Amino acid sequence: MGTIGDGALMSLEATVRARAGNLLVDAELAVATGEVVAVLGPNGAGKTTLLRALAGLLPLEAGRVVLDGEVVEDVAAGTWVPPHRRGVGVVFQDALLFPHLSVVENVAFGLRARGRRRIPARQSATEWLARVGLAAEAGRRPATLSGGEAQRVAVARALATEPRLLLLDEPFAALDLPARAALRRDLRAHLAGFQGTRVVVTHDPLEAAVLADRMVVLEEGRVVQTGPPADVAARPRTRYVADLVGVNLFVGRGMGDHVELAGGAVLVTPDAGRGDVLATVHPRAVALHRERPAGTPRNVWVGTVGGVDREGGRVRVVVHGPVDVVAEVTAGAADELRLDEGGPCWVAVKATEVAVYPA
């Protein structure tokens, strides 16, 4: 079970073993009261499967889920609380609003399902629509809403029931960039005022950094890394996480003043420690040259350009060689270097730009 902090009250403790098709999710998740956790992972990693299991929408093969000290599912003990009695609110990637109900009736639906009378439920729903900036749209049908408006209604519907656990499954994925940025800002404010436990599934590290106190990275159904966004970015532990935060990751063995990589290549660094290590180099710290560079860089090798990707004024260059690496240079530098796919290229990295930490 992940550590949240000394003496922190765990409002969610889950050991989940659940299957969706050929994917088996076998993961532990612990979230403290008031904490926002972002679950990240590549497509098919099991993020949605994990959320569906927490909500009770997918039965566990083994494990248990505890919310605020109440066991809502325990396979060994035969305990299973149905989804509508768990106190869980869910916002899916697609808003999944009821097309035959008005906006205000959609928000009131969850309250009515929990026994609230019609008029108080509509009053509460109207208040929530005002909070998400849609009070004037209460009488409209979902088909007339934009994608961003529909997601705001879905958020209001989930929060109106005052759930103990709020689960958001890629809430911005179906939106265009302007709508995504606006909803992200608003959702951050709503999450800050929500007192329950919050879990957000996303594949976007920016969304995780903006919304979450802690990241949990899932790959092939298992947790591979967890920690505050800044810590995860500074010390990625898998290739996926390194690609996510945009750095080069190397696996090797520390030998004091250098790291021995697979295949015999070496990265020189001031302090590589001893034993199995991981090393990172930011693409902006990788210098490219047409000829062997002069000066005192400690890590120099020749390679072959494997790809050139222009993104605005920056260019990311993949270089294959004794050490495969991604460099980031300006568009002007790329033009001056005449970087062509398949052509030769010298690589230089200062020893001080190699960050090393235990594997």
**What is the 3-class SS of the chain, one letter each residue?**
CCCCCCCCCEEEEEEEEEEECCEEEEEEEEEECCCEEEEECCCCCCHHHHHHHHHCCCCCCEEEEEECCEEEEECCCCEECCHHHCCEEEECCCCCCCCCCCHHHHHHHHHHHCCCCHHHHHHHHHHHHHHCCCHHHCCCCHHHCCHHHHHHHHHHHHHHCCCCEEEEECCCCCCCHHHHHHHHHHHHHHHHHCCCEEEEECCCHHHHHHHCCEEEEEECCEEEEEECHHHHHHCCCCHHHHHHHCCEEEEEEEEEEEEEECCCCEEEEEEEEEEEEEEEECHHHCEEECCCCCCCCCEEEEEEEEEEEEECCEEEEEEECCCCEEEEEEHHHHHHHCCCCCCEEEEEECHHHCEEEEC
What Cα–Cα distance (Å) separates residue 342 from each residue in 97, 289, 319, 320, 329? Answer: 51, 15, 9, 9, 18
Quickly state the pLDDT bin for 10 (edges 50, 70, 90): low
Sheet bearing 10-20, strands edge to edge: 23-32, 10-20, 62-67, 70-74, 79-80
Distance CA 324, CA 264 (A): 13
Q: What is the mean pLDDT of the chain?
A: 90
Give the pLDDT confidence score for residue 225 in this predicted structure: 96
Quickly state the pLDDT bin for 1 (edges 50, 70, 90): very low
Where do the structural domains in the chain lie, given as residue ranges? 10-243, 246-358
Distance CA 243, CA 261 (A): 19
Give the pLDDT confidence score for residue 67 in this predicted structure: 93
Give the pLDDT confidence score for residue 263 in this predicted structure: 83
What percent of the chain lies above the pLDDT cut of 70? 97
Give the pLDDT confidence score for residue 152 in this predicted structure: 87
Quickly state the pLDDT bin for 24 (edges 50, 70, 90): very high
Quickly state the pLDDT bin for 6 (edges 50, 70, 90): very low
Average pLDDT value for residue range 255-264: 91
At the topology level of CATH, where does 10-243 sit? Answer: Rossmann fold (3.40.50)
Take residue 280 and report the two structure tokens written for it: 């990172």
**Quick one: angle between helices 118-131 and 103-113, nearest 10?**
130
Residue 196 confidence (pLDDT) above 80: yes
**Of the given ranges (22-31, 50-59, 168-177, 218-227), which has the lowest mean pLDDT?**
168-177
The residue written with tokens 């004091």 in the block is 256
Q: Are 311 and 321 in contact (CB under 8 A)?
A: no
**Of the given ranges (96-100, 189-193, 316-320), which has the lowest mean pLDDT?**
189-193
Q: pLDDT tens for residues 279-302?
A: 999 999 999 998 998 877 789 999
The residue written with tokens 């004037």 in the block is 136
Q: pLDDT tens for residues 309-354?
A: 988 889 999 999 999 999 999 988 988 888 888 889 999 999 999 9
Residue 146 confidence (pLDDT) above 60: yes
CATH class of 246-358: mainly beta
What percent of the chain lies above the pLDDT cut of 90? 63
Give the pLDDT confidence score for residue 7 in this predicted structure: 44
Q: Are 224 and 2 in contact (CB under 8 A)?
A: no
Quickly state the pLDDT bin for 9 (edges 50, 70, 90): low
Q: Are 187 and 196 in contact (CB under 8 A)?
A: no
Please work out, in degrees rounded to the nearest 5, the angle formed at the alpha carbon of residue 54 by the alpha carbons of 67 and 85.
60
